[in-house]
Structure 1
Amino acid sequence: MKPLQGLQVLDLSRILSGPYCTMILADMGAEVIKIESPQGDDTRAWGPPFIGTESCYFLSVNRNKKSLVLNLKTSEGKKIFLDLVKSADIVVENFRPGTLDKLGIHYDVLKQINERIILASISGFGQYGPYAKRPGYDVIAQGMGGLMSVNGEPGGPPIKAGFSFADLGSGMWALIGILMALQARNHTGKGQWVDASLLDTMISWQTYLATGFFATGKNPQPMGNAHPSICPYQVFQANDGYFNVGVGNEAQWKKLCEIMNLNIANDPRFSTNSERVENRDQLIPMLENLFKKEPSKYWVEALDEAGIPTGPVYQLSDLYADPHVSEREMLLSLHHPTIGEIKQVGIPIKLSETPGELKTPPPLLGEHSCEILQRLGYREEDIVKLFHNGVSSGNDSILQSTKRYS
């Protein structure tokens, strides 16, 4: 039994934010039908890198899903979609606001067909507001949402994060909203519209930086790898690479001084965190000079043994060779029908009684069109007509199996 088993999700989303949201739903047991245009999710063509003919980008967020090709700009394609809505629980989309209205499948239409339906919409700026109709990509939200203004080195240019924080975070907020809406539906019997945006996501993560700004009126500034409110809490260079140290209290500070043979634990410039933050320009060079005398492994082991939070700065090649990552099942694999074994990032949510599972690889375009259309009552000859009229399509094996009707 999976926690979301029995739920059906119609996934109209593409690229990253929506597919990430629906992948987690699928990992946890929901049946996710990925509804793609005849051209497919944009990311099927994004690369390099590719594995064979498959885009690594697409492979990263589309496992455990079924692919149905539907041209929603045709009346028959829209009819098929609305027929699916009748028995579905959730619809996820990340089009620009107004697109569903143009297609004739906006929330008011969906809830008339199925009052229990939950629509989750992810967009750059939300479903209302002066910027609602603007296109929004991850980098735009990182810039407008304040992240780029505090990321990077002091005096340097704005730098975006290496991960797609706005996209992935919005997918997570949409997922949380969906789960909340499901819980509310248990009480009311009715679904609702979940509205998540990339800009709202970035704003919501400002936390202490925003509160500091509200209190002082001063814009936070980039500090490289340092922390504005804790010291030392940053990356340091050893004689062979980099590692992180986070000193969160005075007991840890005293232990650090002891390990490093520094007689400054009670120095009035550094004895409390507030003093260390105020005098970081004096403290950090002392620590840097000592850390450079030994390899990073030496310091990580010594600090860890003393209970001081520490860890290496990994490349991905280091990370996925770490036995802890393997033990936590954060590196898994699936068999793909055209390219063989593919590695996948594991499921970050560990449930003791109803864990998630990687069952099926990211689907080929239209791989499940025939199966889903037959479920709706379409005969094979009807499906072939849909294929020939550009309403739907399937992969080569499906076309071969129905060739006799053409």
Structure 2
Amino acid sequence: MSQATASKALSKYKVLDLTRARAGPTAARQLADWGAQVIKIETPGSDQTPDFMERHSPDFQNLHRNKRSMTLNLKSHEGLGIFMQLARDADVIVENYRPDVKHRLGIDYESVKAINPRIVYGSISGFGQDGPYVDRPGVDPIVQGMGGHMMVTGEPGRGPMRSGAALSDVGAGLICANGILTALLEREDSGEGQWVQASLIEAMIFLLDFQAARWTMAQDLPEQVGNNHPTNAPVGAFKTKDGYLTISASRSRWRQFCDALGAPELMDRPAYATADLRLNHRYELNADIEVFTQTKTTAEWIEIMNKASIPCGPIYTLEETFNDPQVQHLGIAQTVESETLGSLSLIGQPFRLSRTPNRLVTAAAECGAHTDAILAELGYEADEIAGLRARQVI
């Protein structure tokens, strides 16, 4: 019997999750959280988890909630046969092996398509499924560097800086999930599945957005500008009496910002007369602004700036983020029960649907917790399942 449904939105779809690390599990989680029936396939004979993740860690639990787990030895003939039985009735397969691994195992898109032409097969890799870097291992810290992100992040003169979040991993996972959903929509017309391919390097470049387009369109090479905005000023972090404040007061907001700051004289300075001049003199401008921002507390400035419709906000620790009343109102942190760990608070979905909402229904399953049940759904009897286990197929 399948577990409780996280949402009605994708509940008709069956997904085989072959993923590990972060990018692949992110894609599969996106489907699971919206109700798809996701089976996470793991290696039998151990409770190993990919790379650096301990099974009961926040990382693993956050990535693998709302899924069922079964063990299956894909290197064995019987294990491959069981996988193909599952694949015959599945809608989606998600994997992020190195590109050659699925072909060696015989579970690549063409092999599955031969028995299920409707399959939507999602693959995530570091650098793509072909090309000169196809055999290279790709992980987020490497791709943040190769994708150009580290040279537009951080303060000038301080060297390249990596983001504190795994941007290319999470980005590739979300992009792959989007591709899978696009292929499922197209299948409604064609009746055929297709191979969805995403990579960390493409995700990283895509997430750079206008910074990357500045180069491709105008050969304008973005530089590191720290907390400042690359193309607008004043936008950045400013000292207050008791901390820091972020303010975005560029272009059309300049005059009302000066009034709210209590610094109308800044409007009269020739160096700040236009948006381009303010950008060219940003460091001088920031110093002038901080003369005023340091006279009041962060909370006082937030009240003043909000009344003037100037975008602003405090700079939080994560503890402060999750204690913020608006964040609590939105409910992005959701509670789920784990048989092993008890009550857990994990990160929910960042969007909502009015008619088919989603929820967290299960914590990450113990390794192989649903193996017997899934095999029974395929028609295997108890003695057959025991035999498979004795032969280390499951």
Q: TM-score range by the shorter chain?
A: over 0.9
Residue 228, structure 1, aligned to residue 199, structure 2? no
Residue 35, structure 1, aligned to residue 37, structure 2? no
Structure 1 window deviating more from structure 2 (209-218 vs 166-175): it is: 209-218
1:24-103 equivalence runs, <5 A: 24-38=30-44, 39-40=46-47, 42-43=49-50, 46=53, 54-103=56-105
SS at match of 2:165: coil
Amino acid at match of 1:172: L
Q: Which residue of 1 aligns with 2:3?
A: none
Distance 1:359 1:241, change over 3 A: same
Structure 2: tracts of 5 or more residues without a match: 1-6
| Contact 2:10–2:31 (8 Å) recurs in 1 | yes
* Cα distance per residue 1:286-343 (max 9 Å; x no partner): 0122212222111122111211111111111001111211211111111100110011
1:6-405 equivalence runs, <5 A: 6-38=12-44, 39-40=46-47, 42-43=49-50, 46=53, 54-214=56-216, 216-250=218-252, 252-262=253-263, 263-392=265-394
SS at match of 1:113: coil
**Aligned equivalents of 1:18 and 1:214: distance in 2?**
29
Give the C-alpha shift of residue 146 in structure 1.
0.2
Give the C-alpha shift of residue 197 in structure 1.
0.1
SS at match of 1:378: coil
**Aligned equivalents of 2:95 and 2:133: distance in 1?**
18
SS at match of 1:140: helix
* Cα distance per residue 1:119-146 (max 9 Å; x no partner): 0000000111111121100111101000
**Aligned equivalents of 1:20 and 1:347: distance in 2?**
11
**Aligned equivalents of 2:111 and 2:315: distance in 1?**
50
Amino acid at match of 2:34: M
| Contact 1:36–1:67 (8 Å) recurs in 2 | yes
Q: 1:4 aligns with which of 4, 10, 24?
A: 10
**Aligned equivalents of 2:381 and 2:128: distance in 1?**
40
| Contact 1:91–1:117 (8 Å) recurs in 2 | yes
| Contact 2:232–2:251 (8 Å) recurs in 1 | no
Q: TM-score, normalised by structure 1?
A: 0.92
Structure 1: tracts of 5 or more residues without a match: 48-52, 393-406
Give the C-alpha shift of residue 215 in structure 1.
5.0
SS at match of 2:350: coil
| Contact 1:43–1:55 (8 Å) recurs in 2 | no
Structure 1 window deviating more from structure 2 (272-281 vs 67-76): it is: 272-281
Percent sequence identity over aligned pairs = 39
Q: TM-score, normalised by structure 2?
A: 0.94
* Cα distance per residue 1:206-236 (max 9 Å; x no partner): 3322232245535321111111211011111
Structure 1 window deviating more from structure 2 (33-42 vs 364-373): it is: 33-42
Q: Give the number of equivalent residue pairs.
A: 386
Q: Which residue of 2 aligns with 1:398?
A: none
* Cα distance per residue 1:33-64 (max 9 Å; x no partner): 001112456348635xxxxx712210111110
**Aligned equivalents of 1:315 and 1:267: distance in 2?**
36
Amino acid at match of 1:271: A
**Aligned equivalents of 2:148 and 2:104: distance in 1?**
33
* Cα distance per residue 1:357-396 (max 9 Å; x no partner): 211111111111111011111111111222222111xxxx
Amino acid at match of 1:21: A
SS at match of 1:281: helix
Amino acid at match of 1:157: G
Amino acid at match of 2:68: K
Give the C-alpha shift of residue 18 in structure 1.
1.1
**Aligned equivalents of 1:205 and 1:186: distance in 2?**
29
**Aligned equivalents of 2:207 and 2:111: distance in 1?**
34
RMSD: 1.5
Distance 1:242 1:89, change over 3 A: same
* Cα distance per residue 1:193-215 (max 9 Å; x no partner): 00000001111123322232245
Structure 1 window deviating more from structure 2 (119-128 vs 219-228): it is: 219-228
Distance 1:40 1:130, change over 3 A: farther
Give the C-alpha shift of residue 2 in structure 1.
1.5
| Contact 1:123–1:196 (8 Å) recurs in 2 | yes
**Aligned equivalents of 1:238 and 1:332: distance in 2?**
33
Distance 1:234 1:266, change over 3 A: same
Amino acid at match of 2:262: N
**Aligned equivalents of 2:129 and 2:216: distance in 1?**
27
Q: Which residue of 1 aligns with 2:4?
A: none
